[in-house]
Amino acid sequence: MGESGFSKRPDQLVISARYIWHRVMTELSSEAKRLYLSYFWWILEPCLMIGVFYIIFGMVFERGGEGFVSFLILGVTAWLWFAHTVAKSTLSIRSQQGLMRQVHVAKYVFPFSAVLFGLFKHFFVLIVLISLLVYLNEPSITWFFYILIFLVQLLFITAVSTVIAAVVPFVPDLSKIVPPMLQMTMFLSGVFYPQSMIPAQYVPHFRYNPMAGLIMEYRKVMLEYQLPDFVYLGKVALYSGILLAFGLWVLNRFNHVYPRLAD
């Protein structure tokens, strides 16, 4: 009996992985077809945002300085990846209640699909924008640590997306709060202003926001040619892992409750 249950577990994971992959590929293709500019829009959006911030802060307020474009590239791309993925995952479970009533499916596939969807789009953007960073800056060995920070951010995004997706079906009004909270996160993450503009006594509190700290670490290794703060990255990874475990526990605990929740 135990052996049978054990053998079903890998099969379920394989089925879930295939479903996630198929779902993401279908959504990527569908979104590209809906947009007149297709995949080019994924590049155009961060470029437009970078352009707006450069005009306002770099030209009008003269707060930019040398290397401001590279500074914005790192901040905007990191924040857009986080914001788009969390926004997409918010209703990832609640919007699929009709499907869940017809077919039994592990609930984590819905936020994980949103995370993978956001990851593919982010890769597409990074290919172009990292190439621009190489053109604008002198590459350094510290750039290799970008991958480490990237992986920590991926874990953080997955954790936040999973928890929000798990909770929103029980408290639907939270879906109305997420967009303004994400907007506030942008202003509190240093996307378009440097750490030097923050009073020294508030910098440690500023880094309590993982997105602010991660953006600072990206800029440290890519623009300042310094090693990242490994202790800080370890803390973000640890807390993200705990948060992700909690989100998965909630999804498993209420696995059979989600389909019965009212639309």
What's residue 214's pLDDT? 96
What's residue 247's pLDDT? 96
User: What pTM was estimated for this model as a whole?
Assistant: 0.87
What's residue 62's pLDDT? 59
What's residue 64's pLDDT? 63
What's residue 96's pLDDT? 81
- How far CA 184 is from CA of 10, 79, 188, 258, in Å, comes to 41, 12, 6, 30
What's residue 18's pLDDT? 80
Q: How many residues can be counted in the chain?
A: 263
User: Quick one: how far is CA 261 from the chain centroid?
Assistant: 27
Return the domain boundaries, the chain.
2-260
Rounded distance, CA 99 to CA 95, Å?
9
What's residue 205's pLDDT? 81
What's residue 38's pLDDT? 59
Mean pLDDT of each 10-residue bin along the chain, 263 residues long: 46 75 77 64 79 76 73 92 94 82 82 92 85 86 95 97 95 90 87 79 83 94 95 97 96 88 60
What's residue 5's pLDDT? 43
What's residue 253's pLDDT? 92
What's residue 233's pLDDT? 97
What's residue 10's pLDDT? 63
Tokens, residue 52? 């707006």
What's residue 115's pLDDT? 95
Q: Which residues, 6 or more positions from 15, have their beta carbon under 8 angstroms from its beta carbon?
A: none
Following DSSP, what letter does each residue of the chain receive, concatenated? -HHHHHHHHHHHHHHHHHHHHHHHHHHHHHHHHHSTTTTHHHHHHHHHHHHHHIIIIIIIS----TTHHHHHHHHHHHHHHHHHHHHHHHTTTGGGHHHHHHS---TTHHHHHHHHHHHHHHHHHHHHHHHHHHHHS---GGGGGHHHHHHHHHHHHHHHHHHHHHHTTTSTTHHHHHHHHHHHHHHTTTSSS-GGGS-GGGHHHHTTSHHHHHHHHHHHHHTS-----HHHHHHHHHHHHHHHHHHHHHHHHTTTTGGGS--
CB 76 within 8 A of CB 46: yes
